[in-house]
């Protein structure tokens, strides 16, 4: 069997476009449309400007390890990395509308132009392993299907694009609660 190249696809979910790249050899654990819906839900819940786009790269541990080393200064793979392009102040009810509004500090985009929120890279290999080990989810004792772990990681990464963080206990609790609310029942 010959080499299967990276696959790329644009998926529209409401006012959001998700540009998905699936690296060669990465298994499809969740339909790409479902991942795009999860990204759109997280962006909406964060008050992201719309229309907007998000890049999603589904890859493996080796690529996440290289990105983790280059951008975070950490050794080894991680499950998800986010690369936001907009400041935290862009998100929320009031500021989400400001991208098309007039007034001090606001800027308007030309008609039909989508602002890019940034990119999310997820190790599908790590998501499968974490689900299988029972070390995924919102606590280290969650055992569930790889599809659930991948959906959580995509939501988590998108929330980071939208200014959410979990460095402090209060932030972590709020972010986890939002993630729980965004996961499909």
pLDDT in tens, 117-150: 999 999 999 999 999 887 777 666 666 899 999 9
Lowest mean per-residue pLDDT among 63-77, 84-98, 117-131 = 84-98
The predicted pLDDT at position 135 comes to 73
* pLDDT band of 108, cuts 50, 70, 90: low
CATH number, domain 7-182: 3.40.390.30
Q: How many residues does the chain have?
A: 185
What is the distance between the terminal CA atoms of the chain, rounded to a whole angstrom?
38
Bond preceding residue 139 cis, omega within 30 of 0 = no
How far apart are the C-alpha atoms of 101 and 26, rounded to whole Å?
Answer: 41
Mean pLDDT taken over the chain: 86
How far apart are the C-alpha atoms of 24 and 172, rounded to whole Å?
Answer: 34
Q: How many CB atoms lie within 10 A of CB 20?
A: 19
Both structure tokens of 65: 């390890």
Domain coordinates in residue numbering, the chain:
7-182
Q: Which of 153, 117, 156 is nearest to 30 (CA)?
A: 153
């Amino acid at each position: 069997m010959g080499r299967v190249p990276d696959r790329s696809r644009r998926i529209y979910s409401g006012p959001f476009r998700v540009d998905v790249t699936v690296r060669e050899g990465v298994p499809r654990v969740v339909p790409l449309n479902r991942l795009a819906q999860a990204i759109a839900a997280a962006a909406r819940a964060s008050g992201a400007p719309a229309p907007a786009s998000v890049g999603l790269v589904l890859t493996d541990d080796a690529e996440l390890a290289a990105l983790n080393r280059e951008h975070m200064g950490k050794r080894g793979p991680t499950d998800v990395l986010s690369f936001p392009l907009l400041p935290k102040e862009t998100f929320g009810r009031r500021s989400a509308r400001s991208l098309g509004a007039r007034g001090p500090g606001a800027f308007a985009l030309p008609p039909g132009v989508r602002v890019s929120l940034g990119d999310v890279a997820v190790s599908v290999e790590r998501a499968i392993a974490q689900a299988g080990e029972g070390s995924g989810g919102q606590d280290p004792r969650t055992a569930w299907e790889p599809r659930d772990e991948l959906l959580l990681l995509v939501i988590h990464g998108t929330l980071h694009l939208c200014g959410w963080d979990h460095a402090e206990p209060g932030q972590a609790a709020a972010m986890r609660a939002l993630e729980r609310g965004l996961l499909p029942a």
